[in-house]
Amino acid sequence: YHILILAQIVLTLKRSMENCVFCKIIKGELSAYKIDENELFCSFLSIGPLKSGHSLIIPKIHVDDFFEMEERSLQQILIYAKGISLALKKAFSPKSGKVGLMVAGLEVPHAHLHLIPMDSLEDLDFSNAGKASAEELKEIQQKILSVLN
């Protein structure tokens, strides 16, 4: 009986990974405006940005809920996010001098962090999300990459 339940859980997880937009980006099946990646994480621009430079950081291992990540991975993703946030500060010089970090997790069932160069607190309001064109995203990507490298 327990083996059947475990098999159902594994099958459900496999199906969710196969349909996960972020897993497809990691596998190269979908394109993204990547900023950086290492063996554990990938960072790319949001296609529905709140502000110019709005970036996402995802673990390369599929985890639905951010706080279901292992403790070591939680530590590592924040250390990784620090490097990306420094590049965003340098590239966009937000008026507040800060890059906001948000864990929402409702849009895509894959753990992710939002990094948003903030001029004010209103910059973290998802009702202000826009749509960026491919040209805008490519330009923003190049701006960030120029300060990362």
Which residues does the annotation mark as catalytic? Answer: 112
The whole-angstrom separation of Cα 92 and Cα 144 is 9
Beta bridge partners of 57: 43, 113
Pairing of strands 98-102, 41-45: unpaired
The whole-angstrom separation of Cα 53 and Cα 21 is 20
Q: To which residue do tokens 């620090």 refer?
A: 82
Q: What amino acid occupies position 23?
A: C
- At residue 118's C-alpha, the angle toward residues 39 and 116, to 5°, is 25
